[in-house]
Amino acid sequence: MGLNAYAHSVLANVNAVWAAQAPPVALPSLQYVAPGPFDTVSADCEQVVVSVDAVNRGAPGEPLGVYVRLGEWSATVTVAVWRGCMPSSVSVAAPVAADQNAASAITHGDLDIMWRNVEQILGVTPCQHHGVLIAELLPIESVVGGAKLTVAVDLLSV
């Protein structure tokens, strides 16, 4: 399986994981595998994006060192969910606390689903090993915010 096919399978798993929540959590309809790394994706709308950010020498999550087993390679992959739920204000006053709390419930919910379901999201056969690099909230851009999961996956079996 190549990198692009792996990324598309991860995107399908994201949909399955969010749909399996009780109650199911709807995802934005704009969903794609990015043609470039995560830091080149525009954060101007609601979307779900899977990006392949880099291919690295070594096993997932291992620092590059002097000794790397022959043939070991891993890829850095990011899954991001942006939501258009950030509160805004029509004046210079800050948005009300209730709106802030409602937005945080949405973004924290996506982050919670990500880290609790890493195995299901990345579990694309034949990928066997992965390591979470970071799960975090995305910077807020206007009314768009969200969560992302960045992982390293073993390429020996992808």
pLDDT digits (tens, 9 = 90+) for 120-145: 998 887 666 777 888 999 988 888 89
Q: State the pTM of this model.
A: 0.86
- Please name the amino acid found at residue 133: L
The CATH number that applies at residue 119 is 3.30.70
Quick one: pLDDT at residue 141? 83
3-class secondary structure for 6-61? HHHHHHHHHHHHHHCCCCCCCCCCCEEECCCCHHHCCCCCCEEEEEEEEEEECCCC
How is residue 88 written in tokens?
């805004």
pLDDT digits (tens, 9 = 90+) for 30-76: 999 999 999 999 988 999 999 999 888 766 665 555 555 566 778 88
How many CB atoms lie under 10 A from the CB of residue 150?
17
pLDDT digits (tens, 9 = 90+) for 71-103: 677 888 999 999 987 777 676 677 788 888 888
Longest alpha-carbon distance in the chain: 60
Please report how many Cα atoms fall inside a 13 Å half-sphere around the Cα of residue 158, on the Cβ side.
28
Structural domain boundaries enclosing 116: 3-154
143 touches 126 (CB < 8 A): no
Question: Per the structure, how many domains does the chain have?
Answer: 1
